[in-house]
Amino acid sequence: MNRYDVIVVGAGPAGLSAAIEAAKLGLKAIVFDENAKPGGQLFKQIHKFFGSKEHKAKVRGFKIGEELLQEASKNGVEVVLNAIVTGLYMDKEVTVKQDDKIVHYKGDTVIIATGASENMVPFEGWTLPGVIGAGAAQTMMNLHRTRPGEKVLMLGSGNVGLVVSYQLLQAGCEVAALVDAAPRVGGYGVHAAKVARCGVPFYLSHTIIKAEGTDCVTGVTIGEVDSSWKIIPGSEKHFDVDTICLAVGLSPMSQLAKMAGCEMEENPLKGGTVPICDEYGETSVKGIFVAGDVSGIEEASSAMIEGRIAGIAAARSLGYIDEEALKEKSKELEAALGSLRQGMFGPGSKGKEIIQTEEGYEISKSLLTKGYIAEDEIFRYPGVTKKTGLHPVIECSQNIPCNPCQDACRKGCIKIGENITSLPVVDQDSECTGCGLCVASCSGQCIFLVEDGIEEGYSAVTMPYEFLPLPRKGDMGAALDRSGTKVCEAEVLEVRVAKAFDHTNLLTIKVPADMTMKARFYVGQEV
């Protein structure tokens, strides 16, 4: 029978990383993926990732996918696409549907990296065409370049709901509302702020009552829920939409592990049914490992590290490296994984209400309920400084594992320090050259450059801008504040496009002096 040192199921971030690491240590590795394109969810991720620069932060997801593929091929990993693993049997035998046959393989080790599937939530009309998963919307837009609809309502304020809402806006859809039954925004505040300043209203403590339409979605009614999740009568709100996107969480796709006889558990913190595994991802069945979302829902950045650890552990179990090498190699990775799991969004904080940052700054209540930091809250954060000359304003208010901004500034103006989740601090004494690298480096798009007094009564605000078509110098339009409300007229002073910015273009607008700390987005006149 076809035999490999390691068979990896799933060519997403975890699976590819596992195969690469195993192949680097000498293992004969093969990766199967049921999709026509490798990379799992990475190829739909057009946004920049969070994390540390050692672990691909500020790189866009699809780029990470391309890098992983190159690395896999360089190291001799066989990646087989359109290959559906149909079963995992005794003796680590894997059956794979390839073309019109079922091919049998055996692995001395098997790494299951099958990822997750989207959760659904039922409401009246949820089976109407037009109700889709947020992941499906992302696939349509970013892989197939098709807009899922014209007017969309998003249910779910976790990172998926926020990121996909932003991408819908980028694709030219209107996002009528972002709705979540929870009382607080679930995802990163910076992702929420990007969506809110485009004018998308947030409805927390709201849920969908019904999708309307006979043959397809033509509208939706939402309502406010009380503390026992019951709709408050009279709170109903209607929106004319043609698409309802559901971003209500993911469930590990752990069926293969279960079929193989791995001991499983129902774990709410991990999002569903997961195999019980040790620190290297090895399950109760010797030689069967799991990595990535299949072992518990997390971010792609953690999935890549988990994959690498599993790959190294597989190498150890087959005698390609010794125990000492395993410990040494996995130590650094586990430390990195540990740091990614820190902060207020780490697995340990799931479901907890956090009222202040690690440093003791109060969390913005407005951010958690409306998606943006209120004007009277913004000055409490260490990245937001008052200074007359040109300087950065970093509206980063939550402890998330991310630090590229501190290296972006060559003048040492931005400091995060040892702890990757700390809020960036702006050093008021450093000289800002206005290069804009920090603005483009922030995956959360929360860094702005402001300069007062560029001419009598006017200031300049530079913002990250990821929409097409790009405005041109001299264009007139309106500045929007953090809530997406038009606050004043604005003139485009400059549009900077550079390779180093990696498609986060820098848009500088001229606004009245009292708008310096308000204007955070720009729309052209015709809008």
Partner 1 sequence: MERSIDLGTFVPEPDDDMLICRCEEITKGEIRQAVHDGMFTIEEIRRWLRAGMGLCQGQTCGKLVKGIVAKELKMSPWKIEPATSRAPMRPVEMRIMGNEQLEG
Partner 2 sequence: MNNCADVVIIGSGIIGNAAAYNLAKKGCSVIVLEKDNSIGHGGSSRNGGGVRQSGRDKRELPIAMWGVKNIWPTLSEELEADCEYYQQGNLRLGKTQEHLKILQNLTNNARECGLDVNMISGEEAREICPYLSEEVIGASWCKTDGHANPLTTTLAFYRKARQMGVRYISGEEVVEIRKIKGKARLVVTKNNVYEGDTILLAAGMESRKIAGTVGIDIPMVPHLMEVLVTEAQPDMFYQMLGTAAADFYGHQSKHGSFVFGGSSGLEGYRKDNGTYTNSSITAACTCRGIMKYFPVLSEAKIVRSWGGVIDMCADGVPVISKVEEVPGLTLACAFTGHGFGIGPAVGVLLSELIRGETLSVDLSAFAYDRFKAKI
Q: Kindly list the residues in this chain that would bind partner 2 in the complex (CB under 8 A).
A: 87, 89-90, 93, 95, 102, 104, 260-261, 285
Among the residue ranges 21-29, 65-73, 122-130, 237-245, the one whose residues contact partner 1 (CB under 8 A): 122-130
Please give the backbone phi and psi of residue 525, each rounded to the nearest 5 degrees, phi first: -65, -35
* Contact by Cβ (8 Å): 197, 481: yes
Contacts 24+ apart (CB under 8 A), 320-325: 320/5, 320/25, 320/26, 320/27, 321/25
Residue 350 CB, nearest approach to partner 2 (Å)? 28
| Beta carbon nearer to partner 1, 70 or 86 | 86
Binding mask 18-47 for partner 1 (x = CB under 8 A): ----------------x-------------
Under rule CB under 8 A, which residues in 142-171 are in contact with partner 1? none
Chosen from partner 1, partner 2, none, partner binding at 227 (C-beta under 5 to 8 Å by type): none
| Beta carbon nearer to partner 1, 64 or 85 | 85
Q: Which of 122, 319, 351, 469 binds partner 1 (CB under 8 A)?
A: 122
Rounded to 5°, angle at Cα 270 from 268 and 276: 105
Complete DSSP assignment for 445-489: --EEEEEEEEETTEEEEEEEE--SSPP-TT-EEEEE-TTS-EEEE
Interatomic CA distance for residues 481 and 325, integer angstroms: 53
What's the Rg (C-alpha) of the chain? 24
| Beta carbon nearer to partner 2, 2 or 356 | 2
- In one letter, which amino acid is 93? E
Chosen from partner 2, partner 1, none, partner binding at 85 (C-beta under 5 to 8 Å by type): partner 1
| Beta carbon nearer to partner 2, 286 or 352 | 286
| Beta carbon nearer to partner 2, 4 or 320 | 4
Among the residue ranges 179-187, 262-270, 297-305, 429-437, the one whose residues contact partner 1 (CB under 8 A): 262-270
Chosen from partner 1, partner 2, none, partner binding at 285 (C-beta under 5 to 8 Å by type): partner 2
Interatomic CA distance for residues 455 and 393, integer angstroms: 20
Chosen from partner 2, partner 1, none, partner binding at 418 (C-beta under 5 to 8 Å by type): none
Q: Is 284 in the site for partner 1 (CB under 8 A)?
A: no
Helix (H, G, I), strand (E, B) or coil at 431: coil
Q: Is 268 in the site for partner 1 (CB under 8 A)?
A: yes
The 3 state secondary structure assigned to 10-58 is: CCCHHHHHHHHHHHHCCCCEEEECCCCCCCHHHHHCCCECCCCHHHCCC
Chosen from partner 2, partner 1, none, partner binding at 93 (C-beta under 5 to 8 Å by type): partner 2
Chosen from partner 2, partner 1, none, partner binding at 130 (C-beta under 5 to 8 Å by type): none
Tell me how far CA of residue 361 lies from CA of 90, 323, 340, 377, 446, in angstroms: 54, 44, 21, 10, 17
What is the number of H-type helices and E-type strands within the chain? 11, 28
Residue 268 CB, nearest approach to partner 1 (Å)? 5
Residue 187 CB, nearest approach to partner 1 (Å)? 20
Chosen from partner 1, partner 2, none, partner binding at 228 (C-beta under 5 to 8 Å by type): none
Nearest to 297 by CA among 269, 317, 275: 269
Chosen from partner 1, partner 2, none, partner binding at 90 (C-beta under 5 to 8 Å by type): partner 2
| Beta carbon nearer to partner 2, 93 or 407 | 93
Name the residue with tokens 């939409």.
Answer: 241
Chosen from partner 1, partner 2, none, partner binding at 405 (C-beta under 5 to 8 Å by type): none
Rounded to 5°, angle at Cα 204 from 199 and 210: 95
| Beta carbon nearer to partner 2, 26 or 261 | 261
Q: Which of 75, 273, 284, 349 binds partner 1 (CB under 8 A)?
A: 273
Strands 264-267 vs 272-275: parallel, antiparallel or unpaired: antiparallel
**b/e burial code for range 65-102 (CB count within 10 A of at least 16 → b):** bbebbebbeebebebeeebebeebeeebbbebbeeeee
Name the residue with tokens 């300043």.
Answer: 197
- In one letter, which amino acid is 358? E
Residue 353 CB, nearest approach to partner 1 (Å)? 21
Strand partners, 426: 414
Q: Is 232 in the site for partner 1 (CB under 8 A)?
A: no
Chosen from partner 2, partner 1, none, partner binding at 235 (C-beta under 5 to 8 Å by type): none
| Beta carbon nearer to partner 2, 36 or 90 | 90
Chosen from partner 2, partner 1, none, partner binding at 28 (C-beta under 5 to 8 Å by type): none
Q: Which of 107, 135, 272, 383 binds partner 1 (CB under 8 A)?
A: 272
Q: At what angle do helices 189-196 and 159-170 cross, to 10 degrees?
A: 30
Binding mask 64-103 for partner 1 (x = CB under 8 A): --------------------xxxx-x-----x-x--xxxx
Residue 166 CB, nearest approach to partner 1 (Å)? 26
Interface positions with partner 1 (CB under 8 A) = 1-2, 34, 84-87, 89, 95, 97, 100-104, 117, 119-124, 126-127, 251, 253, 255-256, 258-259, 266-268, 272-273
